[in-house]
Amino acid sequence: MVVGVIGSGAMGAGIAQVAAMAGHTVWIYDTQQAALENASAALKSNLTKLEEKGKIKDAASVFAAMHFVSSLSALAPCKLIIEAIVENLHIKKTVFSELETIVADDCLLASNTSSLSITSIAAACKLPQRVLGLHFFNPAPLMALVEIIPAIQTDASIITTMKELMTAWGKTPVIAKDTPGFIVNRVARPYYGEAIRIYEEGIADMATIDWALTQIGGFKMGPFALMDYIGHDVNYVVTATVFESFYYDPRYKPSFSQKRLLEAGWLGRKTGRGFYNYAQGETTPAANEDAVLGKQIVERVLAMLINEALEALHLNIASAADLETAMTKGVNYPKGLLAWCEEWGKEKALAVLDNLYNNYHEDRYRACVLLRK
Ligand SMILES: NC(=O)c1ccc[n+]([C@@H]2O[C@H](COP(=O)([O-])OP(=O)(O)OC[C@H]3O[C@@H](n4cnc5c(N)ncnc54)[C@H](O)[C@@H]3O)[C@@H](O)[C@H]2O)c1
């Protein structure tokens, strides 16, 4: 099967690599010649390194299966096209409707969007039943998770086919309802939002919050270090989009602290400054390793995360098993949040949330009905 990838940026290049390594011929299209050249050079170098490490046999033949093109019509022979262009609904819709004039009727069209409605994208097509979301995580060759998102128009048989294909590509597929943030970008929001809230209220500084969540909570990266790593242009925009898409539910409310970073151009590691300063000679601020404070921080963030996972389960956004897989494979959480809830104690999680609710009287802290039950 010939696979097409539209957009040769961070995600498009990674997805093309995954498809080529799975044995497909891949056509990669981008409007920017420089982006195609960068992707080609990066992919060649990545594949060579993989061959040196003994992870693939023949880097040259995998690379030779990838074709970098600056004309959309070159994608005509494809049977699956994955779009990974700029996160803009109008532009994505335009590209999808143009694609339909080029490809055969049996070509499946997927979007890698992080936050836009797959149903809206499908609505731009004459055959919306062939459109779906295929949400890879960054970096696509390393992250196992792929969220498969049927639009309300999508033919159900395509979802089964895609699950099998993603498994054949070495990925771990989960199925998510077409709702804002799908699974991971919805359920993970409190990891960032509640951490910032704790910081903004002056309960603890960033280094202490990061210390608590890594050293006591067991998360791989603290929320501030992670947001700096992801980039505030991505992380803030996802939060703001999820917030707006949920009709301004206060649970997802973005913060001014992060917005100001974006306005200043302090996008995180990539610009040398974000919540932390990455300039040479700067040292990471020391955490206040107070065990009692650390435990309070972890309990507050964890209760919010568990609540979010239970709400997603309650609203049938995904199955319990897929929710657990998504959070452990998509954002490398040390445990699935439902298992964590069982282990830590449902009563405890509910008590933390009710205590927050009683103190703040904010809807943000309302406990999910499933947790209360
Ligand atoms: N970066 C992430 O962590 C991440 C993770 C999952 C999903 N996504 C989603 O993947 C998509 C791409 O993100 P990215 O980080 O790779 O972006 P990017 O900016 O690195 O790359 C986007 C590429 O698309 C090209 N492009 C823009 N408009 C185009 C058009 N009309 N036709 C063809 N090419 C076009 C650009 O030239 C650029 O090379 C977005 O929808 C994003 O939300 C991103």
What CATH class is the domain 185-372? mainly alpha
* pLDDT tens profile 117-167: 999 999 999 999 999 999 999 999 999 999 999 999 999 999 999 999 999
Phi, psi of 175 (to 5 degrees): -110, 130
pLDDT at 115: 85
Mean pLDDT of the chain: 97
* pLDDT tens profile 326-335: 999 999 999 9
Reply yes or no on whether 355 is catalytic.
no
End-to-end CA distance of the chain: 48
Reply yes or no on whether 257 is catalytic.
no
Range from 68-72, 161-165, 200-204, 235-239 carrying the lowest mean pLDDT: 235-239
In this predicted structure, the answer to whether residue 87 has a pLDDT above a threshold of 90 is: no
Q: How many CB atoms lie within 10 A of CB 291?
A: 10
Nearest to 306 by CA among 190, 176, 145, 179: 190
* pLDDT tens profile 154-210: 999 999 999 999 999 999 999 999 999 999 999 999 999 999 999 999 999 999 999
pLDDT at 173: 98
Q: What three-state secondary structure class fits 139?
A: coil
Q: What three-state secondary structure class fits 147?
A: strand
Sign (positive or negative) of CA dihedral 222, 334, 336, 365: negative
**How far is ligand 1, taken at its centre, from the CA of residue 257, in Å?**
26
Q: Which residues on adjacent β-strands are paired with residue 164?
A: none
pLDDT at 101: 96
Asked if 365 and 357 count as a contact pair (C-beta separation under 8 A), the reply is yes
**How far is ligand 1, taken at its centre, from the CA of residue 13, in Å?**
10
* pLDDT tens profile 331-367: 999 999 999 999 999 999 999 999 999 999 999 999 9
If you take atom 17 of ligand 1, which residue's CA is the nearest one? 9
Q: Is residue 12 lining ligand 1, measured as CB closer than 6 Å?
A: yes
Reply yes or no on whether 8 is catalytic.
no
Sheet holding 25-29, edge to edge: 66-69, 25-29, 2-6, 80-83, 108-111, 131-136, 145-150, 172-175
Query: In which band, very low, low, confident or very high, does the pLDDT at 265 lie, cut at 50, 70 and 90?
Result: very high
355 alpha-carbon distance from chain centroid: 31
Hey, which CATH number is domain 2-175, 1.10.10.10, 3.90.1170.50, 3.40.50.1220, 3.40.50.720?
A: 3.40.50.720
Calculate helix-pair angle for 189-200, 256-264, nearest 10 degrees: 90
pLDDT at 159: 97
Task: Catalogue the long-range contacts made by 335-342 (C-beta closer than 8 Å, 24 or more residues apart).
Answer: 335/218, 336/309, 337/187, 337/305, 337/306, 337/308, 337/309, 337/310, 338/306, 338/309, 338/310, 338/313, 340/302, 340/306, 341/306, 341/309, 341/310, 341/371
Residue 366 has, within 13 A of its CA and on its CB side, a CA count of 11
Query: In which band, very low, low, confident or very high, does the pLDDT at 284 lie, cut at 50, 70 and 90?
Result: confident
Q: What are the residue ranges of CATH 3.40.50.720 in the chain?
A: 2-175
- Backbone angle region of 148, left / alpha / beta, with phi > 0 → left and psi within -120 to 50 → alpha: beta
> CA-CA distance, 264 to 250, in Å (whole number)?
25
Which stretches within 65-211 are classed as H helix?
89-100, 118-122, 156-168, 184-187, 189-200, 206-211
Query: CB-based burial of residue 71 (10 Å sphere; 0-12 exposed, 13-18 middle, 19+ buried)?
Result: exposed
Mean pLDDT of 273-277: 97
Q: Is residue 183 lining ligand 1, measured as CB closer than 6 Å?
A: no
In this predicted structure, the answer to whether residue 264 has a pLDDT above a threshold of 90 is: yes
Q: How far is CA 339 from CA 20, 40, 312, 336, in A?
A: 36, 42, 15, 5
Q: What are the residue ranges of CATH 1.10.1040.50 in the chain?
A: 185-372
Pocket test of ligand 1: the residue of 8, 30, 233, 242 to mutate, having most ligand atoms within 8 Å of its CB, is 30
Sign (positive or negative) of CA dihedral 215, 217, 220, 225: negative
> CA-CA distance, 183 to 186, in Å (whole number)?
5
pLDDT at 163: 98
Q: Which residues on adjacent β-strands are paired with residue 2?
A: 25
- Tell me, what amino acid is at 23? G
In this predicted structure, the answer to whether residue 368 has a pLDDT above a threshold of 90 is: yes
Ligand 1 atom with least separation from CA of 138: 3
Tell me the chain's radius of gyration from C-alpha atoms.
Answer: 21
Reply yes or no on whether 114 is catalytic.
yes
